[in-house]
């Protein structure tokens, strides 16, 4: 294994550990262990620091134009190639994963389109004109401008729960304890 291979593997592992530890922290909170929850959150942040350094070491982030191209390609792969068979299989098995596979399949198409619009702006040497982003915390759909009453993907489930994206709101959303 070359160091580049090792970096790829370590980046994937640390990224997954970050995600898992944040989920474990939520569970520890629900189970009445706030200090263990804090330990999981602190370790999650440590793994994020490792992951970010590994990504840097493999030059994983380029110019914003390059990053938008990569992000759009990733989202496009997900909604055209990765998710459709996963969704069909989960539906056939009546697996509970079918709900989020279905939501993600649709949300990734929107994400790809938003990145396309961002690329258009960057090609003209501009930032995105939109300033207000709203995230459906149920399905991951993103709206620019103003939040509609019903989410185009998850419907009335998102009603009243749109998350207006700010650095602080996004941070606290990722740490929110599930009801």
Dihedral, CA of residue 98, residue 100, residue 102 and residue 103, to nearest 10: 160
DSSP state of 150: S
Shortest Å distance, C-beta 13 to Fe ion: 21
State the minimum distance, in angstroms, from the CB of residue 59 to Fe ion: 23
How far, in Å, CA of 94 to CA of 90, rounded?
Answer: 6
Q: Which residue is nearest to Fe ion (CB)?
A: 136
Q: C-beta of 83: minimal distance to Fe ion in Å?
A: 10
Query: On the CB side of 64, how many CA atoms lie within 13 Å of its CA?
Result: 12
Q: What is the DSSP string of 111-144?
A: HHHHHHHHHHHHHTT---S---EEE-TTT--EEE
- Residue 39 vs 82, nearer CB to Fe ion: 82
d(CA 56, CA 21): 22
Lookup: tokens for 33: 């262990």
| DSSP secondary structure code for residue 156 in this structure | G
- Which residues contact Fe ion (rule: CB under 5 A)? 75, 108, 111, 136, 138-139, 141, 151, 153-154, 158
What is the nearest approach in angstroms of Fe ion to the Cβ of residue 133? 13
Residue 153 C-beta: closest distance to Fe ion, Å: 5
Please identify, using beta-carbon distances, which residue of 24 and 134 lies nearer to Fe ion: 134
Q: Which of 172, 167, 99 is nearest to 139 (CA)?
A: 99
Nearer to Fe ion, 105 or 153 (CB): 153
Between 41 and 102, CB nearer to Fe ion: 102
Nearer to Fe ion, 41 or 111 (CB): 111
């Amino acid at each position: 294994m070359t160091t580049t291979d090792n970096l790829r593997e370590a980046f994937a592992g640390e990224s997954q550990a970050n995600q898992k530890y944040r989920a474990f922290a939520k569970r520890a909170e629900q189970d009445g262990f706030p200090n263990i929850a804090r330990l999981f959150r602190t370790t999650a942040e440590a793994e994020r620091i490792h992951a970010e350094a590994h990504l840097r070491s493999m030059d994983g982030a380029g110019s914003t134009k390059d990053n938008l191209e990569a992000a759009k390609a990733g989202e496009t792969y997900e909604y055209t190639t990765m998710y459709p068979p996963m969704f069909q299989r989960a539906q056939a098995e009546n697996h509970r994963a079918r709900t989020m596979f279905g939501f993600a399949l649709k949300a990734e198409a929107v994400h790809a389109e938003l990145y396309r619009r961002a690329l258009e702006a960057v090609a003209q040497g501009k930032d995105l004109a939109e300033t207000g982003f709203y995230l459906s915390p149920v399905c991951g759909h993103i709206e620019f401008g103003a939040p509609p009453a019903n989410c185009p993907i998850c419907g009335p489930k998102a009603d009243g729960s749109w998350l207006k994206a700010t650095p602080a709101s996004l941070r606290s959303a990722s740490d929110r304890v599930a009801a």
